[in-house]
Amino acid sequence: MTRQVSDFRSDTVTRPTPKMRRAMAEAVVGDDVLGDDPTVNRLEAKAAAILGMEAALFVPSGTMGNEIAINVFTSPGDEIILDNRSHIYLYEAAGPALISGVQVRPIDTNDGVIPLDTIRASIRDSSDVHCPTTRLFCIENTHNMHGGRVLPIDYLRGLRELSLERRIPIHLDGARIFNASAATGISPAQYASLADSVMFCLSKGLGAPIGSMLVGTSDFIDKARRVRKVLGGGMRQVGVIAAPAIIALDEMTQRLHIDNENAKKLALGIAGLPGVMLDPETVDTNIVFVRFEPPAPLTEDIFRELEKRGVLCIPLGPNVIRFVTHFDVNESDVERLIGAMRETLSGPT
């Protein structure tokens, strides 16, 4: 099939590979709510082993994984500290308030790294009658709305010390933790060792059609399994979607460096075009945020020009566009994007 468009909207647009589709057709299944879907059990054991944690739970979405973790670690009236551009704060439809009755304490940052002093100063406890108790730190790595930035490992070590000292657990929204690993060489297990729970997505750069994993201690996962049921996420013969997820973990994790490299090429190709504000050095992984200033047109107009040239992207407001690389866009798609951008921004010659 000829590719009609070069789709840089998100790594969620990836479609299952032919091998994944075969695995879906042939999956051995059972009733997973009763614990007897062997393919799901295999996936959960594999995810726990890769992350170096005791247990794992297959959940329908990253959002559900994050919200379950918050629910397990908190009680209504507690407070959680997170970055104000985190997925949990921006895009989970007030889930922490709605599902867990907790208050969020969003903190403004340039890159998802909340200074440890700021976190320390933000921790509250109910020994003061006016205050909620801080029960959870949520971090995001890579950080989507900070352009796929990787959180520095030294920062994560410092946060871990603080978390142990204050007995406040850390939930890592690691939707794209394998992209972080591909960029840094730091294994997902090393990242996980600095958190109490990790959610990662199978349906983004890893290419599985559906699903995310939540990992943590056995006790945490036992509680999480119950919350998943409450939220309607207990699924039955779900081996049909666990089977491609196993392929995602075995194989697709090994190729993410290509997506990261393509994002860098994309950034190098468009930095320097008229009106583009982009430092390719800030592109750590597979997400590229491009800011525009005059003489560049508004992003809606750029979006339309790119679309006419077969390139899809997501405008985030009047002067920022997000491009995401993944296994359904290759180097020639990147070239196509760079060419389309050059034509759009250089104006009539």
Q: Which of 144, 181, 260, 262 binds ligand PLP (CB under 6 A)?
A: 144
Comparing CB distances to ligand PLP, the nearer of 232 and 272 is: 232
Q: Which residue is nearest to ligand PLP (CB)?
A: 62
Total of chain residues touching ligand PLP, rule CB under 6 A: 12
The residue behind tokens 């003061």 is: 128
Q: Which of 20, 32, 62, 95 binds ligand PLP (CB under 6 A)?
A: 62
In the complex, least distance from residue 106 CB atom to ligand PLP, rounded to whole angstroms: 15
Contact map string, positions 163 to 202, toward ligand PLP, x by CB under 6 A = ----------x-x-------------------------x-
Contact map string, positions 14 to 53, toward ligand PLP, x by CB under 6 A = ----------------------------------------
Q: Which of 6, 74, 212, 286 binds ligand PLP (CB under 6 A)?
A: 212
The residue behind tokens 């995602």 is: 248
- Stretch in the footprint of ligand PLP (CB under 6 A) among 58-66, 109-117, 293-301, 316-324: 58-66
Comparing CB distances to ligand PLP, the nearer of 228 and 336 is: 228
Torsion of CA 16, 20, 26, 28, to 10 degrees: -100
What is the DSSP annotation of 113-177? Answer: ---HHHHHHH---TTSTT-PPEEEEEEESSBGGGTTBPPPHHHHHHHHHHHHHHT--EEEE-TTH
Longest alpha-carbon distance in the chain: 68
Q: Which of residues 79-118 bind ligand PLP (CB under 6 A)?
A: 87
| Cβ–Cβ < 8 Å for 236, 189 | no
Q: Is residue 52 classed as helix, strand or coil in its secondary structure?
A: coil
- Stretch in the footprint of ligand PLP (CB under 6 A) among 61-69, 179-187, 278-286, 321-329: 61-69
Comparing CB distances to ligand PLP, the nearer of 163 and 286 is: 286
Distance CA 227, CA 206 (A): 26
In the complex, least distance from residue 177 CB atom to ligand PLP, rounded to whole angstroms: 10
Amino acid at 142: T
Helix then strand count (H, E) for the chain reads 14, 13
Q: Which of 61, 109, 122, 237 binds ligand PLP (CB under 6 A)?
A: 61
On the question of a cis peptide bond just before residue 294, with omega within 30 degrees of 0, the verdict is no
Residue 333 — φ and ψ, nearest 5°? -65, -40
The residue behind tokens 């190709």 is: 269
Residue 82 — φ and ψ, nearest 5°? -155, 170
Q: Which of residues 273-312 bind ligand PLP (CB under 6 A)?
A: none
Measure the N-to-C terminal CA separation of the chain; round to a whole number of Å.
Answer: 35
**Binding flag, residue 325, ligand PLP (CB under 6 A):** no
Residues 6 or more apart whose CB falls under 8 angstroms from that of 190 comprise 153
**Which residues are near ligand PLP by CB under 6 A?**
61-63, 66, 87, 140, 144, 173, 175, 201, 203, 212
